[in-house]
Amino acid sequence: MSIPDLVALRDHAIRVLADAGVTTPEADADLLIGHVLGMSRGQVQAKALVGAPLDAEQIMTVTEFIERRALREPVQHITGLAPFRTLELAVGPGVFVPRPETELVVQFAIDALAAVASPQPLAVDLGSGSGAIALAMAVEVPHAHVVAVENSPQAFVWTTRNVRRYGDDRVRLVFADLADALPELDGTVDVVASNPPYIPVGAVPRDPEVRLFDPEHALYGGVDGLDAVRALVVTAHRLLRPGGTLVIEHGELQAESIAAIVRDGGFTAVASHRDLLGRDRATTATR
């Protein structure tokens, strides 16, 4: 197929993605085209207005990327990158792609960490995946020390890559299960944050991007979705100092159940927080 300029290519891409049922065809087309051309979304739109020319290799690469996205492969897998707050994380098969919702959740952890009086506050990200939460805390609270814990060999590859890019001697990466991680830090941690698997095993996500491409170990948390949360709360209580903060991301219908688990686990000041769409998305508590 010969497409002579950017406006024609962009129109074609949007049409293909819309026909495939992609919910954000224009944004995704701009992101994929921009990745190939080294442009922002705004630059792609501006260049399209003047019908900027393209070469054959650019046309072929964009066309391939659009075909992959039409099969519902996530944009982040195609580009290999996932923006997260101030970071651009490497992602791909085997690791959960960080979501915008988590950018809001991690703010609670960042705020708690920044408020610690110690000159070197300590945080732990349990089930770190891409390292999004751990690295956001480390980058945005530059005097903090952070430990990222991950137990999936496939995800650990991506955690390692991102810690090498954005971490420094303040960020430590540990391969361990969250249920028995870091006994040497018991009672010394200021903030524990986590986005654990919380989908019930019978509640298969409708979105093909999640169902087909996100790793199962990062999605499913047992029959009620809360197995990992129960283990997380026990570990967090063990790790946190008195007065330390726990931050958990969860599904919009789980706030009440998680609050009960957290209270039973010995925490106080338990509070749920809504995302920008008004959905219960995070629970915080004090050790």
Q: Any idea where the domains of the chain sit in the sequence?
A: 6-71, 84-286
Residue 232 has pLDDT above 70, yes or no: yes
Both tokens assigned to 221: 């948390």
Alpha-carbon distance of 113 to 116, in angstroms, equals 5
Q: In the structure encoding, which two tokens stand for residue 67, read together?
A: 């075909």
Average pLDDT over residues 14-27: 96
Average pLDDT over residues 163-175: 95
Res. 275: pLDDT tops 60: yes
pLDDT, one tens digit per residue, over 30-44 is 999 999 999 998 899
Dist. CA 41–CA 54, nearest whole Å: 16
The helix/strand/coil state of 26 is helix
- pLDDT for 35 equals 96
Query: In this model, does residue 156 exceed pLDDT 70?
Result: yes
Q: Which two structure tokens, joined as six digits, stand for 95?
A: 């690791």
CATH architecture designation of domain 84-286: 3-Layer(aba) Sandwich (3.40)
pLDDT confidence band for 92 (50 / 70 / 90): very high
Partnered with residue 286 across adjacent β-strands are 245, 268
Measured between alpha carbons, how far is 175 from 74 in angstroms, rounded to an integer? Answer: 26
Q: pTM for this structure? A: 0.91
pLDDT band for 1, please (50, 70, 90 cuts): very low
Please provide the DSSP assignment of 45-95 as one string: HHHHHTT-B--HHHHHHHHHHHHHHHTT--HHHHHSEEEETTEEEE--TTS
Q: What is the rounded average pLDDT of the residues 66-82?
A: 96
Q: Which two tokens stand for residue 26?
A: 């224009």
Any idea what DSSP says for residue 141?
S
Mean pLDDT, rounded, of the chain: 94
Checking if the pLDDT of 19 tops 60, the result is yes
Tell me which amino acid residue 133 is.
I
Report the percent of the chain where pLDDT is more than 90: 86
Residue 77 pLDDT level (bands cut at 50, 70, 90) = very high
pLDDT score for 142: 96
Q: Which two tokens stand for residue 93?
A: 């098969």
- pLDDT tier at 4, thresholds 50, 70, 90: low
Residue 227, pLDDT > 60, answer yes
Query: Is the pLDDT reported for residue 132 higher than 70?
Result: yes
